[in-house]
């Protein structure tokens, strides 16, 4: 079963497991994972003499890999070695962090288009520059606008036409 290629086979097998572990832990493009799979398959093909042995070795490899990942997760989550992978900060409201809120106070307010809106652009309401979006119409710079809707952080406007 073991031949002259034993050292190379074991080396490829271990390198394959290390590369698969790196792929499981570090976000990336999949190159370590693909290289790890190739290394494991080559080492399995080199060391086994039948398909049955190869399947058993591959099953054992997958089980070992899953065990290593589970152990790294269980032991590594609180470990000082894994701290660089985990974001421990909280964005609390007391510290000034806020999520986007729907500010409906702009509905019905009249302003001026500071840039052309085709359909997105900048408007000015009470001296405050705001990003806005027209309802699909082109609005020229300097035109009067009225806010018709506020959807999350989007301010929807249309051209204001004064009644005579």
Q: Which domains are seen in the chain, by residue range?
A: 6-85 (no CATH), 104-159 (2.40.50.140)
Query: Quick check: pTM over 0.75?
Result: no
Quick one: tokens of 137?
Answer: 């119409």
Higher pLDDT, 42 or 86: 42
Task: Report the percentage of the chain scoring pLDDT > 90.
Answer: 27
88 and 77 in contact (C-beta within 8 Å)?
A: no
76-105 average pLDDT score: 69
pLDDT in tens, 106-144: 899 999 999 999 989 999 999 999 999 998 889 999 999
Is residue 163 scored above 60 in pLDDT?
A: no
1 and 54 in contact (C-beta within 8 Å)?
A: no
């Amino acid at each position: 079963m073991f031949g002259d290629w034993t050292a190379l086979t074991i080396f490829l097998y271990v390198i394959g497991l290390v590369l698969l572990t790196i792929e499981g832990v570090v976000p990336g493009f999949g190159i370590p994972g693909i290289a790890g799979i190739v290394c494991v398959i080559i080492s399995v093909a080199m060391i086994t003499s039948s398909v049955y042995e190869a399947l058993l070795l591959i099953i054992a490899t997958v089980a070992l890999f899953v065990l290593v990942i589970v152990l790294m997760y269980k032991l590594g989550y609180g470990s000082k070695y894994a701290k660089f992978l985990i974001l421990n900060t909280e964005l609390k409201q007391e510290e000034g962090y806020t999520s986007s809120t729907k500010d409906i106070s702009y509905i019905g307010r009249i302003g001026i288009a500071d840039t052309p809106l085709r359909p997105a652009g900048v408007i000015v309401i009470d001296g405050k520059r705001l990003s806005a979006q027209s309802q699909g119409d082109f609005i020229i710079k300097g035109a009067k606008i009225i806010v018709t809707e506020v959807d999350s952080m989007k301010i929807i406007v249309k051209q204001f036409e004064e009644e005579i």
